[in-house]
Every structure is written in C-alpha cells, then in structure tokens.
Structure 1
Amino acid sequence: MGLSQRSRRYAPIALLGVAGIALAGCGAPGGSTGGGGGGGGDNTVTIYGTIVEGEAELLAESWSDFEKENDITIKYEGSQDFETQLGTRAQGGNPPDIAIFPQPGLFADYAARDFLKPAPDAVEANAKKYWTQGWVDFGTYKDEFYGAPLMASVKGWVWYSPKKFAEWGVQEPTSWDELLTLTKTIQEKSGTAPWCAGFESGVATGWPGTDWIEDLVLRNAGADVYDQWVKNEVPFTDPQIKEAFDATGELLLNPDYVNAGFGDVRSINSTAFGDVAPKVASGECALTHQASFLSGFFPDGTDISEDGDVWAFLLPSKSEDETFITGGGEIVGAFSDDEATQKVLEYLSSPEWADKRLALGGVTSANKGVDIEAVENPILQESIKLLQDDSVTFRFDGSDQMPGAVGSGTFWKGMVAWINGTSTDEVLTQIETGWPSS
C-alpha cells in the first residue's frame, strides 16, 4: 500500500474529508447515467480509493483541467477502511463508479464476482502501449481486461545521509555481507543503533515488515521461488522463506542495531513508518528500508541527492550481476460503463494524466509514455527507469498478491508478533494458517 498510499504502502492513513475536494459517499442516492455507482449527476463520476490527506489533494489537482475541458465532475473519497467499505457498497448495489485498487488480488476478486465492467477498448490500448505485459496482466482476469495501472512504487531502497557516510568513512554496499559490515562499522563509530524502522500504519500495521521479507525472498531465493511463494506452492514454513526472516532478523531483531531515535526493537511496531524520514535527514538514524515514496516524508527543503542530505541505494542481492526489485501500485477498475466514466478511465490510463501527477511530485509511474525529465526527485527518476527497464527482474508486492486473509491478515499480524518476540518458526506457522483451504 506512499508518497502516494494511500492506505498502507504510501502515505499516512486517516478517515477524513480532504480540504478542497468534493467527497461523495459512494452509497449516496443518485448515480451517473447508466452506471452502477453512487454519482451525483449525469456528468459526475465517483472514485473511491485508499489515497488520503495531502495525496488526495494532489490527485484532485491532477485531473482538474480534464474536468473543466470535458464538463465532468469527479468526486473522490479516500478511506483507510477501503476493503471493507467497498465490499459493503458493492454487495448493497451502491458501488462507486470507479475504484482504485491497491492490491491486484483484491482487484481480481471483484472481477471474478462480476462486480467490475470490462475496460473500454481505449483503456486496454493505452495499457498495452505504455506498460509492460506484467502490468497489463495485473488488470486481466480470465483473458478479459478489466483495468489499467495508475501509479507505482519501487521498494527495497535503503535511505541514508551522505554527509554521515562521509563522516564515518563508509560507502554504499554491493552485497548483503557488505551491508552487515557497514551496519557494524556505523554502530561502532557512532556508538548508536544504525537502523530505524516503523511498522505502525493504523489498521495496516505490519506491512513495512512484509516488504523486508518480500525483498529478501526475491533477492536470495529468486523469481521462481517468489512466484511459487505468492501462490502458496512454496509455503511460509519452507526453509527458503525462513532464510528471508533470519536475514531480516540479523538487523531488525538486534537491539544493538535498532531502533535509532525511537527506542528498542519492540518500538518498531509503535513507530509510524513515515516518522523515520526526518530522523534519517537529521542524521540521527543512519539507515532505513523503505520504498521510493518515502521521499515525500522528508522535511521541506531536504536535499535528496548523492551529495545532499539524503540519498538511497537498493537493498543488495546475492548476485551483483542482476537487479531485483519489488514494487507496488494501483489498478483502476470500474463498476459503471457510462460515457463519463469511460472518459475518466481513458484519461487515467494515459501518459498525459501520469505527467500531470508526476509533475506534482512524490510518486512514480511505470507508464512508458511519461516525461521522466519532468520529475525533479532523482530517486523517483531512477525508480521510473527501473520500472521501465526490461533487464530488471520486477515482482509485484507479494502480500498484495496473496489472498486478503494472508497478505493483509496473518502476514501483517505475523510481522508484528515477530518483532514482539514470537519465534520465527511459530510466526511462520501462524502466517501459513491464513491460506484458504481451497
């Protein structure tokens, strides 16, 4: 689920109205012409998603010109309780016109239950032209295309202060062993814990821990094992998955290495994931692991550059010759097929919309038609290049592909229990119990 999520992967979550945005309860009376949603008029399109607060304001700004040019009013509502509320509204016959899904698994579930309308031809054409096949597949169910991607993020960045690295005489590592050596060196030279981490995210607490495990499964066990793992063909109790937990534990369960600026190991669970950013910028925390969207959490005026206040490197892999990345993103699906909704869907699948949103800052896109040079943040620029590079091994966030009972259920809860001291074997067994029996 940064800065764009928008529920769990991108930005702080809150259930509230957003200043400057017309919010419409998707279950409200009325509806757009021919649609299945809770619109407010013939040219009103309702959108429901997990994007909240300042990010929701930027989302509204990104389509404001489109609204004027097409005489369409877009009413957006963001909620931290997206999964539950969307299900209630869909089953009650009052869904939004459009939903922005943060999880491909959840998107596929709604397509499988015939809640979603197949995407317009123009949307499918945009997806096939501007995204890789993997992204197109996320919006496809049983050979029918239901929705195009929206934004994206690259996970696995390790953020640090170049000034502090220079002070300690250390460099970016290129292997896991070098990362462990770097951690030990910083601890010895600084006399403080090098790493800070935050797993707190409201009802989604625990998801930042799943990102650690996903990164290390992909990097150490490889793409085939990763793909089998997200389908439960390789269970959580498999030694290859335990290895990822053990590697993460070398850092996050070591009281000498965490939790800089916040407390002990257990303070990770009570530390909001975005709160680590100011600690890195100030040099109080030497290292933190978080996605590209963390760039939006640094204090105003923070210089994000190789010689600036903050920079980042990708979590090292076993192989220095191959680049592995995990990432997240949203898929746009529609409950309505009226004309206004189709126009909005086409616009949101276009590079023109993506350029508008990228220019506002804090997010990335896998859309190959975007103007990368318009993105000022160099880490976001690099993230976009990685997403578009066919030589990079990319996999979508694993927990987002798993059934909700696991991905946003036992996996999240398991990470919290693990940080609180429950043994790895017990946690892995507990997570595995979340998988449906069939």
Structure 2
Amino acid sequence: MRRRTLHRVTTRIVAGLALLGVTVCATACAPLPGGRTVSVLATWTGTEAEHFGKVLAAFEDRTGIHVEYTGTRAIDETLRSDLRGGTPPDIAILPSTGDLAQYAHSGDLLPLDGVVSRQDQYGRPWLLRLNRKVYAVPFKVNLKSLVWYDRSRWRPSPQEMRDPLSLRTGGRARSVWCLGMQALRSAGWPGTDWIEDILLHQVGPEKYREWASGTLAWTSDEVRQAWETWGRILDASGLDRQGRRVALLTDFSEAGLGLFGDPPGCLLEHQASFVIVTYPPGGDVDFFPFPSLPSGKGGAVRRSVVVSADFAGMFNATPQAKELMRFLAGDEAQRIWPAIPAGAAFSANLGVPPDVHSVKDPVGRKVADTLDGAAMVCLDASDLMPPALRDAFGDAVIEYLSAPERLPDLLTELDRVQDRVKNRWRPNEQERKDLLSFSCPGPLNRPGRPIRPVKPNGVTP
C-alpha cells in the first residue's frame, strides 16, 4: 500500500518537471532490493503521466523492478541527445514511427523477436516490422478521424455530418471550426491531420499508402486536391483571414474550449480522441466520424480512419527492459489505462475489447467501437515520415493558412524535401515494402467482433 501512495505523489512531480526533461521515479526513488531498475522515456506529462503511472505501478507490484520514468514533450531532442551521449533510455515510447524506423535502420533500436513472444495478440501489420524483424509494439492508440461538438449547445444535422462543405455559420458563431495550430512539440500538426483525413476519405487507402511512404508526389492531383478541399471547408465555415491568423497563435489544447462558451465561439473541432482530457468536465460532448468526401475519381473507402499510436521500443536489452517490454505488450498492461474513465486511451491488442471501457465513460466506449468497426485503419502519415519531412509538412500547413495562394510553391518545396530525405536515408527494398504495408495495417480484426457501422450519435448498435 505504501508503494502505491508514493507512486501517486511522484507522478504529480512528473507533471511539473517533465517539461524540463527531468527524470523522476515511478515510485519511491530509493532502488528496490537487488538494484533492478529500468528507465522509460515517453511524451506523457500531467494527467497522462498519472494514468501511465498506474501501468508502471502494476508492473512494479508484479515484478519488484524499479521504474525510472521521464515524461517530456521534447522527446525527439531528448532521445537524440541521450543517444549521442551513449545513455539512451532502456525503453522509449514514441509517437513517430518514422523516427523508430530510422533508429532501427541505424541499429540503435533493438529487435523484439524473442522478447515479445505473444505477437499473435496483434494483427500482423500492427507490429512495426523491418527486414522481417519486429521493432516496436503499439501501446496507446488515438483515433484521429473524429469531429467533436457539445450537444447541449448545438447539434449538426445528418447532412452536415455527411458534408463538411455544407456547414455554414448562419450567424450562430464567428466560425464553425475550432482551430489551433500551436503545439510545443511540432506546430502545425493539427492541420496535417486535416490533410491526412481528407486525402484518405477522398481517394482511399491505396493512394494514402503511396503518399505516406513517399512514392506519391506532393504535387500530385490527389494531394493538391486534399489541400484545396481543406481550404474550401474553412472558407465555407466562416474562418476568414483574421480567424486563420488567430488559429496560428492558438494552442491546439485550448482551441476546443470555444465549443463550451455561451454562446459558443465555434461549433465543431476536428481532433483526435486524446482531446477528451482537455475538455472541461461535465459537458455533453459527442462526436461523429469524419465523412467520406467526393473526389471526382472514386476510390474512397467508407469507414476508413486515421489513427496515431505511441509505440514502445527497446534501446537497451537488459533483463529488466525485456521484462517491461513483455508486460507493456500484453493485454494485462493494455487494459489498465483504457479502463480509466475519460482516460482517452485505446488499444490495438486483440485481448482488449471495447467493453473494457467503463460504463461511466460512454464517449470512450463509442470511440473504441468506432475504432473496432473501421474497415481500414491507416496510421498518421506525418508520423510515418522522416523527421525533416514531417517538420516541413507542419511548416507548410502554417504557411498555407497565412497565404493559401502559395500552395503550388509549398507543394513543390515539399517534393524537394522528400527527395533530399530519400538521398540521406536509403531504406532497402524490404524496408520500403514493410513501411508501405505498415501505413494502413487494415482493420483490428478482433476475434468475434465483426466490422459494423457506427451511428453518428450514440453507441454502436
């Protein structure tokens, strides 16, 4: 009991110190008998660090192994610095599979074959494989193809749910869409999510795979059309030049607060499932899935969704690190965070059904049902891209909002960056095939769970 109390206290310290990259302990800082420790680096701070702390506490109670956890939003810089200094964490949990692929290619990230024995707990493409070896396991999944609103203030019509271009302010609010482009880790990424969703829902997963893996040009008709469609949606919604400038200065975690104003400052927010933790408690929040969009060429697949995921990988093959990797990959660990009401954590582990989400968390259950019912799941394309291209994508989004007329030049420059990245990192043929298949792993295929449609409002029938 004493250990659990100390754990709760220490995770509060994480919230205050993690932004500075300060290492803190998952429980008391005195090492446990035998001196067995394992270090973990991830992006989670604040409430998310407290939730992840419950997972680490369960591991410590089970094994007696002491966990030193560092939570920082500057995870890319922290990990690169640690690798340069020869002191990488034993385990890092990263949202960018593009980074993980490069670390595997360089030999810093170690294969998990022989470590994670129950690989059958995941659909095959969900494990990051390169050269026929598994390098990372998804720990926490976020569903991105969602549009949020507060039902107590405004409810979209069925037509508005099907067609974002039909949304007009009609004097109800200054803009339909809540929009914030600022983020500590990478400004502009909320806009990259828009482009990804539009492209997937206009032309389908095959073209999305090609684009995410770097074989479809940014200046292609399909990619250009996705950007232009986003611009038309924002124009139709009443987001004028001034509104776009405000969006450039607004943090993504604060943009959605406009939903809950009286009157609301905006009506809808396109954002991932993790946004739940930023909304004020007590609201009547709901969502509908991002709709399929006409492209003029066909090919869009209904019930396709974009997701992001935090993938756990091993950088030091100590016995303690292997033990924690096995635990994080298993359904026991992956049930803990999703069971926390409003925890906004979802799992790709086939042993974690949607009903693990509390009855006190109907929105979380609905998200899990939507993810489970998707006919095609595609990973966030920017997370799959090499870091230089991912950052250039975010920069281009910001520039596009400021000056949409510059779109042709922006796409041409992104093609140039993509070419430079290819010349710097040359994946072999097998790695190219692996990354192409990994971009859209397919449905979860949970045993006994057929793919089913999800009602725009309410829980899956």
Fold shared by both chains (TM-score > 0.5) = yes
Counterparts of residues 2-17 of structure 1 (less than 5 Å):
14-15=19-20, 17=22
Shift of 1:218: 0.7
Secondary structure of 1:359's counterpart equals: coil
Match in the other structure for 1:231? 213
Q: 2:46, 2:28 → 1: CA distance? A: 12
Match in the other structure for 2:288? 313
8 Å CA contact retained: 2:178, 2:255: yes
- Normalised to the residue count of structure 2, the TM-score between the two structures is 0.78
Q: 2:38, 2:259 → 1: CA distance? A: 41
* 2:44 counterpart (51, 57, 61): 51
1:296 aligns with 2:293: no
Query: Residues 427 and 395 from structure 1, CA distance in 2 versus in 1: closer, same or farther, beyond 3 angstroms?
Result: same
Q: 2:88, 2:349 → 1: CA distance? A: 28
Match in the other structure for 2:125? 134
1:95 aligns with 2:82: no
8 Å CA contact retained: 1:406, 1:431: yes
8 Å CA contact retained: 1:23, 1:75: no
1:131-151 alpha-carbon deviations (Å, 9 max, x no partner): 222212xx2111011221110
Q: 1:55, 1:142 → 2: CA distance? A: 33
- Amino acid paired to 1:291: A
- Amino acid paired to 1:148: V
Shift of 1:82: 1.5
Shift of 1:249: 0.6
1:357 aligns with 2:337: yes
8 Å CA contact retained: 2:19, 2:72: yes
1:394 aligns with 2:410: no
Q: 2:238, 2:134 → 1: CA distance? A: 50
Secondary structure of 1:121's counterpart equals: coil
Counterparts of residues 141-156 of structure 1 (less than 5 Å):
141-156=130-145
Match in the other structure for 1:243? 225
Structure 1: any 5+ residue segments left out of the alignment? 1-12, 25-31, 33-38, 303-308
1:274-320 alpha-carbon deviations (Å, 9 max, x no partner): 11232213333211100111111111222xxxxxx211111110379
Query: Residues 227 and 385 from structure 1, CA distance in 2 versus in 1: closer, same or farther, beyond 3 angstroms?
Result: same
Secondary structure of 2:20's counterpart equals: coil
Match in the other structure for 2:266? 285
Secondary structure of 2:152's counterpart equals: helix
Match in the other structure for 1:115? 108
Q: 2:238, 2:33 → 1: CA distance? A: 56
8 Å CA contact retained: 1:124, 1:148: no
How many residue pairs get matched? 391
Match in the other structure for 1:85? 78
* 2:243 counterpart (247, 264, 273): 264
- Amino acid paired to 2:287: A
8 Å CA contact retained: 2:92, 2:312: yes
Match in the other structure for 2:162? 175
- Amino acid paired to 1:396: L
- Normalised to the residue count of structure 1, the TM-score between the two structures is 0.82
1:404 aligns with 2:404: no
- Amino acid paired to 2:187: T
Shift of 1:19: 8.2
Query: Residues 216 and 334 from structure 1, CA distance in 2 versus in 1: closer, same or farther, beyond 3 angstroms?
Result: same
Q: 1:385, 1:403 → 2: CA distance? A: 31
Shift of 1:273: 0.8
Shift of 1:48: 0.9
Q: 2:72, 2:221 → 1: CA distance? A: 38
Query: Residues 255 and 316 from structure 1, CA distance in 2 versus in 1: closer, same or farther, beyond 3 angstroms?
Result: closer
Secondary structure of 1:366's counterpart equals: coil
Match in the other structure for 2:433? none
- Amino acid paired to 1:180: L
Q: 1:339, 1:268 → 2: CA distance? A: 47
Shift of 1:258: 6.0
Structure 2: any 5+ residue segments left out of the alignment? 1-17, 295-299, 424-461
Q: 1:232, 1:100 → 2: CA distance? A: 24
Match in the other structure for 2:202? 220
Secondary structure of 2:254's counterpart equals: helix
Q: 1:87, 1:278 → 2: CA distance? A: 34
Q: 2:159, 2:345 → 1: CA distance? A: 24
Shift of 1:112: 1.0
Match in the other structure for 1:7? none
Query: Residues 274 and 18 from structure 1, CA distance in 2 versus in 1: closer, same or farther, beyond 3 angstroms?
Result: farther
Q: 1:119, 1:19 → 2: CA distance? A: 26
Query: Residues 43 and 18 from structure 1, CA distance in 2 versus in 1: closer, same or farther, beyond 3 angstroms?
Result: closer
8 Å CA contact retained: 1:162, 1:310: yes
Query: Residues 17 and 54 from structure 1, CA distance in 2 versus in 1: closer, same or farther, beyond 3 angstroms?
Result: farther
1:219-257 alpha-carbon deviations (Å, 9 max, x no partner): 101111111111222111111111111111113356823
